[in-house]
Structure 1
Amino acid sequence: MNFSLMPSSLLAPAQLLTGGTRRAHTPASLVGDTPVLWVGEPFTDTGRGFWAKLEGHNPGGIKDRTALFMVERARERGDLLPGARIVESTSGTLGLGLALAGIVFGHPVTVVTDPGMEPLVSGLLAAYGADVQTVREPHPVGGWQQARRDRVGELLSVYPDAWCPDQYHNPDNVTAYAGLARELVAQLGRIDALVVSVGTGGHSAGVASVLRGYFPDLKVVGVDTTGSTIFGQEAAPRLMRGLGSSIYPRNVDYTLFDEVHWVAAGEAVWSARALARSRYASGGWSVGAVALVARHLATALPAEARIVAVFPDGPHRYAGTVFDDTWCRERQLLGCEPAAAPDQIAHPGERTVARWTKCETVLDPAPAAQPAGAGAVTLAGAAR
């Protein structure tokens, strides 16, 4: 039997592109307009599900959006001079975004990371021309993040004209995600609940604040990792990257959240793998944790509720960690199927949590809350 995929008559060239393909004259044009995917059974209960915003379809992930935006605004203000070096701390995704921004706007880029960065990401950063520097010891109080930030401060004194975006405290990191929120409104029309991971606080605050303008009753659910200090837990060693923090990022807008969930590393691994097997769409730590919480929300809320989960990246960089049996087995991360529902505490300081747990009391735990942007002056100001 002969079978051909060729149509019986050839289409005109313009017809071939109908519905179609973007052409880009600059790599920055490839960022945004990411798809949404329905995630239903068997990952969720029958008749339940949520929409996933697949930010892994950006060239480097969700932080391509903020890297381009922060760099462009700094250039407009004169904080970043033509050809000056960009220096920043990153666990990976922002580094890829800054490498992109450096190519687009003509700036050398130095990223400071720690030994937890995946070889795939450090290799890509080098391929894109970025200088990758790795700190070797965590800060005794602020962990790897503070150690990286201390090294950034040292580099800013070495390069007098250098500029640091300071993603943890730069309000441009929040404003950058307004476009993502508007895409969701255009794609889905109505949104009843938003599930977002929280690290620097940029995309959670940026997306949620804009969506609340359209949907005042929007339920916003933050997803953190066990061992993170962001929502008032005690600092502890953290395996998960991309969400959580050992410092207090001032971009986190605590007033936006209705509840927060902490997820353990093994639970995120189980979720990311189950999601990959059932929907051919997955990611790493943040995606696994967010998907687990969104799955629960799809059961807890009325069936007609429209839930959106933001997936910050895709699975590729995690082939040697989250999706590697040997790596996970050595860290006792296999077989950690989560409970049907989270534990619950009444206050973040009630006890230290070690498994999936939720809390409906959301408070700013910083010992002395600084105004948003104060930290940006500390680092970025030192560059000039």
Structure 2
Amino acid sequence: MGDTPVLWVGEPFTVAGRGFWAKLEGHNPGGIKDRAALHMVRAARERGQLPPGARIVESTSGTLGLGLALAGVAFGHPVSVVTDPGMEPQVAGLLRAYGAEVHTVTAPHPVGGWQQARRERVAELLAAHPNAWCPDQYHNPDNVAAYRPLAHELVAQLGRVDTLVVSVGTGGHSAGIGRVLRSFFPALRVVGVDTCASTIFGQPAGARLMRGLGSSIYPRNVAYELFDEVHWVAAAEAVWAARALARTRYATGGWSVGAVALVTRWVARTSPPEERIAAVFPDGPHRYVGTVFDDDWCRAHRLLEHLPAEDPQEIAWSGETVVTRWTRCERVERPAPATRDGSRGTAETAR
């Protein structure tokens, strides 16, 4: 796990003379979150929070669950993961094959969506297993710390990074990589990639097909002060980019990879030629053969035949409009969490 390769992505995916370096985290056994799962489990064991043989319980859309299953095998812990009906059947099958219990919630929370529904089921399982431990990936600082080695790998592999493009979900890898790289390169530009209908950067929550990025809750691990700009990407746009990568570069991935690749393609085209751009590809394509790379599934969800615009829509601040297509904003804010009645206070400008 770790020491994953970087790949130069140039034309024909990008325009002639421009390109970027992609960090291929799909070369880990389960994906980028193997790093976080192993580190969080190891740290909890060292602090005595996770007794030998105790159960690990966590909410996941897939990738962290695979990492926790790996950690369960490595450290001798039973693992229970809580997910929702959107988890790909292949991932659920792999989790069970690796010995994990899979619990699926059946209805979203009225305010917090599927994520909050999963977290409430996690609380029930923790109460049923008194010695159990939850990594709480959305708020656990060990999730952030797990990605420092990845940042050092990029420094060793690329020598210099001028721009970092990362997807944002729990906030772990964007914060962990971004903080270390900025300590090496103070002028580093950090571009966050979110999905439409995600609340992380101040948009209203809504139904989302894309998994692995975006959120219906407010993860404390998100380092808002790091970001110079944020882009929201729609599902059809991510599908186009993931498939275009597969045809032109062979290396590709799922929702997060497609969204990051689409944005980084634009960043490469609009940046000076000497700019060294690194994009983090969180996983590979294999778990998406029944969704992103399945024509019938994509057609049923109206995701095909949608050529993205050459440039993103621009908005001055996140609350200006509800975004439904690729959109860029240079004013990054920390949203005020929703109150019990669903309203919000005033957002704080983070950068």
Structure 1 length normalisation: TM-score? 0.88
Which has the greater radius of gyration? 1
- Distance, in Å, in 1 between the alignment partners of 2:85 and 2:206 is 17
Shift of 1:368: 7.7
Query: What stretches of structure 2 of length at least 5 have no aligned partner?
Result: 340-351
Letter of the structure 2 residue corresponding to residue 259 of structure 1: E
Q: Contact 2:200–2:215 at 8 Å: present in 1 too?
A: yes
Given the alignment of the two structures, is residue 42 of structure 1 paired with residue 12 of structure 2, yes or no?
A: yes
- 3-state secondary structure, aligned to 1:195: strand
Query: What stretches of structure 1 of length at least 5 have no aligned partner?
Result: 1-30, 370-384
Q: What pairs up with 1:1-384 in 2 under 5 angstroms?
A: 31-367=1-337
- Distance, in Å, in 2 between the alignment partners of 1:315 and 1:100 is 19
- Distance, in Å, in 1 between the alignment partners of 2:160 and 2:117 is 42
- 3-state secondary structure, aligned to 1:261: strand
Shift of 1:366: 2.9
Letter of the structure 1 residue corresponding to residue 234 of structure 2: A
Q: What is the number of equivalent residue pairs in this alignment?
A: 339
- Distance, in Å, in 2 between the alignment partners of 1:243 and 1:38 is 23
- Distance, in Å, in 2 between the alignment partners of 1:214 and 1:367 is 33
TM superposition outliers: structure 1 runs of 4+ over 6 Å: none
- 3-state secondary structure, aligned to 1:115: coil
- Distance, in Å, in 1 between the alignment partners of 2:207 and 2:92 is 22
1:36-92 CA deviation, whole Å, 9 max, x = no partner? 000000000000000000000000000000000000000011100000000000000
368 and 212 in structure 1: CA distance in 2 versus 1, 3 angstrom threshold: farther
Letter of the structure 2 residue corresponding to residue 309 of structure 1: A
Q: Contact 2:218–2:337 at 8 Å: present in 1 too?
A: no
What do you get for the CA RMSD once the two structures are aligned? 0.9
1:355-377 CA deviation, whole Å, 9 max, x = no partner? 000000001003389xxxxxxxx
Letter of the structure 2 residue corresponding to residue 242 of structure 1: G
Q: 1:16 maps to what in 2?
A: none
- 3-state secondary structure, aligned to 2:334: coil
Identity of aligned residues (%): 76
Shift of 1:336: 1.1
- Distance, in Å, in 1 between the alignment partners of 2:44 and 2:176 is 18
- 3-state secondary structure, aligned to 2:333: coil
1:148-186 CA deviation, whole Å, 9 max, x = no partner? 000000000000000000000000000000000000000
